[in-house]
Chains A and B, each alone.
Chain A
Amino acid sequence: MTLFTRILFFGFCGILAGVLAWPLIELVLYFQAAIPTLLLLNITLGVAAGVFMGGGFGASEGIISRSWVKIRNGILTGLVIGVVAGAVGFIAGQAALLFLGTVIFHSAYSVQRIGFPISRSIGWALFGLCIAMVHGIRSLSWAKIRNGVIGGLCGGFIGGLVVEYLNVFTPFAWYARLCGFGVLGLLIGMFYGIVENRLSRASLLLLGGKSKNREFLITQKVTNIGASPKTEIGIEGYRGTSGVHTMITRERGEYLLTDAGSKTGTYVNDEKIRSRKLKDGDVIRMGDAQFLFRERGGRVDQ
């Protein structure tokens, strides 16, 4: 799978996450009168949206790497983070609305024209931010959390604007919120994918075999590679690869490859190594799998 399809994939998972969240939102809105306060209503809405969006996004990375372990863990962490994120995002959004309204604008005119969409989108951005961090928090990787922060902020903000203006222009269309959530999810997903792509400075390209041409981004400080689906770069169906075969550690912009005690050993440019500093264009072999190491700084052709 190329990086582009990866981005599309994230986007599609995002849409589905939004579609999943939508009926619950409608349900909560329908029973609005039964909820005692506006604050509680916002928390409920945030949680309702967060449960499904968090779950959906959490699952997306597992779905991409076709690892049931990752899907399960992703959904579980996604649910938890989504619930928190939804509530926090919504309250933060309302607080932003309040702050902008009282302190900056003081004026219903400005608040409605600019303040409402902006403040609400800020709320959405905070919501998106928290949701997109699902990936990062699960793998406890600062780089992924940072990716999530940027992707979620941008995606949430634009997605939120879409929700806002769809509501403004088609107030009675039943599908308005559905579209809004879809767009929100799509943008969070795609932004996450794009930003992840942008921010990672190195990647591994599988040169042959089952998953030929699949490119893995190296985003974390420590990246494990092996046959186990729990590893960051999990490759299935290659003979001679151990569960955790090799790991790549990043230090001051340099990448160090270290064999993780594999049975068949790790080779760089057909030389068996224990540990080796990688440079652009190196060919790494573990078992039957051969990778091309690429650094983004120096461009390398496929």
Chain B
Amino acid sequence: MKGLLFGFFCFALCGLVLSGGEAFSDTVRISQIDNSRLLLNQRVNVYVSVTDRDGDPVPNLTEDNFTLYEMGEQRQIQSFQRGVNINQGIKLLLVVDNSGSMYWDASGKERNSSDSKLWRITYAKEAVSSLLNNIKNPMDRVGLITFNVRVESKIHLTNDKGEIAKILQSISRPAEEEAYTELYETLYQSVDELRTYGGRKVIILLSDGQDFPLKDNPHFPRRHGIEQAIQFAQQEGISVFTIGLSARADRENLKRIAEETGGAYFWVFDPAQLRNLYNLIRQQILQEYLISYKATMMPAEKKPVQVVYTAKDARTEAERFYFSGTLFGLGSKSLDWRIFIAIPAGCALLWVLSLLKFEQKKALPSLSVHTSAGKRTQVHQLPVTKMKAGITIGTSASSDVTISGDPKIKETQAKIAVKDGIYTISSKGPVTVNNRQVTTKVLRSGDLIKLGDTRLVFDTGVVKAEVKKAKKKSNPSERRAVGKSSAGTHTGAGKPRGIGARVKRKSSKRRG
């Protein structure tokens, strides 16, 4: 999970600290931090909610009531807005417990009340209906999830209230074997459902019990615990408001979920209060204040934001983190001067590269043979300096340069003779040099000789003076025939490469 912390564009949050003085009943909460404007104008938006003792939102506060710190450094508030969620709309996902106990009597005394009007679920349904009726903003989206041993019904976020109302009516009592409460896994899946939406995202989780998972639940082969569910919600910037219904509700964990995700926990004994509660939560969200400030440039993967709320000489504060990693991650803590060696070292290597010569400095006259064996080309270097009077090229073993496997070459096809450093090719039959058919020609460096399917490139070498020296030095007795080479063993059944000669020439051009 550490890897997930990496990065900077997210609404993710890591922790929330709630603290309130005894004498001071107002509570401040950072419900969300939006850093999507960070790159463009260095702005960070903080959604702050202030509620009084009864949980009602405190309206009409001004920016003088708030002081803001990032990484312990006070930041100037750049803009302050009220009721910002009224314009943008809320994405609300209602998660309702539909376990067996929800069909108990509202007083909790009678377990199998036959009067469906007294069931807890009935109150919950009414509360949801009432909430839906209060939602008039076309920008708002509501979804619904009910759960017991599995996620029972699921409505994706919609602004079609009728659809939700229809599903709401179809909620029915689970069978005995389904009456478990997969609380945490459902929360996890709810976050997963909500995470793809933008804007202010809120889950309202209603449960009358505690997480009561079925062992080896076939619906959830892999189950997430409370830690993972909270972490997921934090990471997605989703606030989870939790409602504990009845005395059996898991107060401790529901409270933890709410506080760590930027929501709030409410405990209700009388299900008749649910109706007000759902609307209250919505009002709280709608009444959030949006404070934006200019972020610091301190390098950090995550930065804490602290909001201090002061009114009537009392103060209370809330803290929350947002992620602010940069494209390259964090710089190193200490800058080692040795890394700068890389610059001269790199330059030096580039310089060395520029000195590299992909050239042959000196080369003796040579003849390279390229036969086409299949698709590959074989290259044979044949020095033609220490010659008797010349070398012969042909298919027979007695040739100086033997080319085997090329059926188009006659026994002794061509001969290269040397005299005073001038090489002349001659042939009984016509031979193709530089795409021209000749019978004899003075060769120049880089001439392309074609025999059948075989190509030979003649090269006089580079440094003529040195070649002459080498010639003088060489003992006549050492003047053996040019190393016989069996050039090319097989010739593919390839057709002749269509470079035919066009003009017949009997004489060759002479050029010193």
Contact = CB atoms under 8 A, between A and B. Distances in A.
Nearest to B294: A37
Interface of B is mostly: loop
Interface stretch (B62-70, B109-117, B211-219, B444-452): B444-452
Interface in B289-340: 295-299, 326-332, 335-336, 339-340
A208 B457 contact: yes
Contact of A105 (B196, B353, B354, B359): B196
A111 B195 CA distance: 11
Interface size class of B (residues with CB under 8 A): 35 or more
Contact of A208 (B198, B372, B458): B458
B497 interface: yes
Contacts of A107: 195-196, 236
Contact of B462 (A1, A9, A16, A209): A209
B365 to A, nearest CB: 10
A29 B330 contact: yes
Given A45-B327, A107-B196, A270-B436, A27 B446 contact: no
Most A CB contacts (10 A, CB to CB) among B298, B345, B434, B503 go to B434
Given A13-B350, A41-B297, A102 B329 contact: no
A300 interface: yes
A209 B459 contact: yes
A261 interface: no
B339 A22 contact: yes
Interface residues of A, number: 92
A194 to B, nearest CB: 19
B332 A22 contact: no
Given A26-B335, A177-B328, A102 B462 contact: no
Contacts, number: 237
Interface string B26-57: 00000000001011111000000000000000
Given A269-B434, A281-B435, A116 B39 contact: no
Nearest to A102: B36
B118 interface: no
B198 A20 contact: no
Given A20-B346, A168-B6, A209-B445, A36 B297 contact: yes
Nearest to B199: A106
B197 interface: yes
Contacts of A26: 331-332, 335, 339
Contact of B347 (A5, A20, A45): A20
A112 to B, nearest CB: 5
Interface of B: 2-4, 6-7, 9-12, 36, 38-42, 195-198, 232, 235-237, 295-299, 326-332, 335-336, 339-340, 342-343, 345-347, 349-350, 353-354, 357-361, 363, 370, 372, 377, 379, 433-436, 444-448, 455, 457-460, 462, 497-499, 503, 509
